[in-house]
């Protein structure tokens, strides 16, 4: 037995009212279609084909970039017509699994159960029972409970509209029979479309066995047609993430106010305050505390660190026992060793910070290699950019940089040296000595402050 997977993703998604194709709208930070492709790949198919529209909706470039085989459905004449474009998927497999690009949260285990439910000549349909089935195709059964057909909302009468069991769109079909049957689909229906769902009545007439798997969690088969449905599914997905984290030993101040848009690996006894967003691949070791309103992307936070409120951390590594924020920004390439401290209104980029070094207030540190035990005074700026090139600043262990200093790169501050407050350092500062550039302070004799005219 061999399996091909076809993902239907050519629909315009008119109900989204968007210039972006529906399947490219994001759920948990990734296109809907990417969620479906990920699930498909995990099933190890012989062939994976996506049916895309010939549109400006960014689907084709996305598929090209991910090296996914694509067929184009030039006109959107319905789901049946879409599958006809993917006959190449049927020629070299015994079964075809049809997935929808706008049904993003189906679990791989559920899809596997569907594959297992039908023998290689039978059909499997993933269904669900929902309180409000409006918009979905209804699963119509005969008196003995066998599936007769699927009827679309717009073609249904009162009796059929009352059916709560709906078609998820996800189906497993025998390839050879499909190859000869797709051309038998008509478009004499309310929407004038070639419905894939009509294939079920044809199968029943041909004596093909139709099995169903009824999915308990309706979110797994929920389709996104409107922005309201997208928002509901997003919340559902985030609730699942919150449950997973709490089960794994993370305390959430409010499970309704956390967003995981990617992969978050977390240790135990972590505290996460409200409105924290995780993007990309983030790992947080045990005993870390994250304050309100932080955004953490593609980063690693080591054991026992404290991230204070309103901080942003992007593509950075935070060493154990460090303290970040409040209002700190770690930009890509920031690597902090243990017990570093980055305080309020500090921006750090492409920089190594040694053990126990501190940048506590109002500073910009870019393209810098900083040793251990360094203290950077308030308002220090590394002038790393000459308008064309970036240059590095090197600061030795235990150096002390006075407040309001500019370090004009490339420049090196020697170990244990002290830079006087307000210095503009254009040449290297020797180790262990005081270097400063400010004029000597003087008081002007006889100076009077101007008087206001009466
Ligand atoms: C479809 C099903 C319905 C099911 C529902 C589940 C049909 C006729 N109806 O209805 O029974 O309950 O999904 O969510 O199949 N697409 C194309 N080309 C087209 C039309 C659609 O590729 O010409 C793609 C869309 O991009 C989308 C999927 O097929 O990913 C479903 O299309 P959509 O128009 O959303 O179908 P529904 O009306 O939701
Ligand atoms: Ca749909």
For residue range 389-414, list pLDDT tens digits in order: 999 999 999 999 999 999 999 999 99
Contacts for 432 with CB less than 8 Å, ≥ 6 apart: 414, 415, 416, 417
Q: Which of 5, 9, 11 to mutate to test the pocket of ligand 1 (most atoms within 8 A of CB)?
A: 11
Q: Could you give the CA distance from residue 112 to residue 187 in angstroms, rounded to a whole number?
A: 32
Nearest to 272 by CA among 298, 296, 240, 300: 296
The pLDDT score that the predictor gives to residue 56 is 66
Helices (H), 70-107: 79-84, 88-91
**Ligand 2: distance of its center to the CA of 27 in Å?**
15
Q: Which atom of ligand 1 is nearest to the CA of 168?
A: 6
The pLDDT score that the predictor gives to residue 57 is 67
Query: 227-435, superfamily in CATH?
Result: Hexapeptide repeat proteins (2.160.10.10)
Number of other residues whose CB lies within 10 A of the CB of residue 373 = 18
**Ligand 1: distance of its center to the CA of 384 in Å?**
54
The pLDDT score that the predictor gives to residue 320 is 98
**Ligand 1: distance of its center to the CA of 76 in Å?**
10
Nearest to 378 by CA among 398, 401, 408: 401
Q: Is 81 a residue of the active site?
A: no
Number of other residues whose CB lies within 10 A of the CB of residue 346 = 25
Residue 12: strand, helix, or coil: coil
The pLDDT score that the predictor gives to residue 348 is 98
Q: Where are the domains of the chain?
A: 3-221, 227-435
* 8 A C-beta contact, residue 55 and residue 75: no
For atom 35 of ligand 1, which residue has the closest CA?
225
- Those residues of the chain that have pLDDT short of 50 are none
Burial class (CB in 10 A: 0-12, 13-18, 19+), 443: exposed
Q: Could you give the CA distance from residue 439 to residue 330 in angstroms, rounded to a whole number?
A: 34
Output the ligand 1 site: residues, CB below 6 A.
8-11, 23, 51, 73, 76-79, 81-82, 100-103, 136-137, 150, 152, 166-169, 195-197, 223, 225
Q: Could you give the CA distance from residue 210 to residue 117 in angstroms, rounded to a whole number?
A: 10
Question: Which among 26, 287, 361, 391 is annotated as catalytic?
Answer: 361
Long-range contacts: 313-321, Cβ < 8 Å, 24+?
A: 316/348, 319/355, 320/285
227-435 matches 3-221 in CATH topology: no
The pLDDT score that the predictor gives to residue 119 is 83
CATH 3.40.50.720 assigned to domain 3-221? The reply is no
How many helices (H) and strands (E) are present in the chain, helices listed first? 9, 37
Q: Could you give the CA distance from residue 395 to residue 414 in angstroms, rounded to a whole number?
A: 6
The pLDDT score that the predictor gives to residue 11 is 86
For atom 11 of ligand 1, which residue has the closest CA?
137
Nearest to 328 by CA among 384, 392, 285, 376: 376
Q: Which atom of ligand 1 is nearest to the CA of 101?
A: 30
The pLDDT score that the predictor gives to residue 158 is 96
Q: Could you give the CA distance from residue 329 to residue 364 in angstroms, rounded to a whole number?
A: 10
User: In whole numbers, what is the pLDDT of the chain averaged over residues?
Assistant: 96
Number of other residues whose CB lies within 10 A of the CB of residue 26 = 15
Number of other residues whose CB lies within 10 A of the CB of residue 9 = 30
**Ligand 1: distance of its center to the CA of 103 in Å?**
10
Q: Which of 139, 169, 229 to mutate to test the pocket of ligand 1 (most atoms within 8 A of CB)?
A: 169
């Amino acid at each position: 037995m061999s399996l091909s997977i076809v993902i239907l993703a050519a629909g315009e998604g008119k109900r989204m009212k968007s210039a972006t194709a529906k399947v490219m709208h994001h759920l948990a930070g990734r296109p809907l279609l990417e969620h479906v492709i990920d699930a498909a790949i995990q099933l190890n198919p012989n062939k994976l084909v996506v049916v895309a529209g010939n549109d400006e909706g960014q689907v084709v470039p996305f598929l090209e970039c991910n090296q996914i085989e694509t067929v184009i459905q030039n006109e959107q004449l319905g789901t049946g017509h879409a599958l006809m474009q993917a006959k190449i998927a049927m020629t070299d497999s015994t079964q075809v699994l049809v997935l929808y690009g706008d049904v993003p949260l189906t679990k791989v285990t559920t899809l596997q159960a569907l594959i297992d439910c039908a023998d290689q000549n039978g059909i499997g349909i993933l269904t669900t029972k929902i309180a409000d089935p409006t918009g979905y195709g209804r699963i119509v059964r005969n008196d003995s409970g066998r599936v007769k057909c699927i009827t679309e909302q717009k073609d249904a009468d009162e009796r059929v509209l009352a059916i709560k069991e709906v078609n998820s769109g996800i189906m497993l079909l025998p390839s050879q029979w499909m190859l000869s049957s797709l051309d038998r689909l008509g478009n004499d229906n309310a929407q004038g479309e070639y419905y894939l769902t009509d294939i079920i009545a044809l199968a029943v007439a041909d004596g093909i066995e139709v099995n169903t798997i009824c999915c308990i969690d309706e979110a797994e088969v929920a389709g996104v047609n409107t922005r309201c449905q997208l928002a509901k599914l997003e919340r559902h997905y985030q609730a699942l993430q919150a449950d997973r984290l709490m089960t794994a030993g993370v305390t959430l101040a409010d499970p309704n106010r956390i967003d995981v848009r990617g992969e978050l690996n977390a240790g135990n006894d972590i505290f996460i305050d409200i409105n924290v967003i995780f993007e990309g691949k983030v790992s947080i070791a045990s005993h870390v505390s994250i304050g309100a309103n932080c955004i953490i992307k593609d980063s690693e936070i080591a054991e026992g660190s404290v991230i204070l409120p309103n901080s942003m951390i992007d593509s950075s590594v935070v060493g154990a026992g460090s303290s970040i924020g409040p209002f700190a920004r770690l930009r890509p390439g920031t690597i902090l060793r243990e017990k570093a401290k980055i305080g309020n209104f500090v921006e750090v980029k492409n920089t190594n910070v040694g053990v126990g070094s501190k940048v506590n207030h109002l500073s910009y540190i870019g393209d810098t290699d900083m040793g251990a035990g360094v203290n950077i005074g308030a308002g220090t700026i590394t002038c790393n950019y000459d308008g064309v090139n970036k240059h590095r600043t090197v600061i030795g262990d235990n150096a002390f940089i006075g407040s309001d200093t500019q370090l004009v790169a490339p420049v090196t501050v020697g170990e244990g040296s002290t830079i006087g407050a307000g210095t503009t350092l254009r040449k290297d500062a020797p180790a262990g000595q005081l270097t400063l550039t400010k004029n000597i302070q003087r008081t002007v004799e006889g100076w009077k402050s101007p008087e206001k005219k009466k």
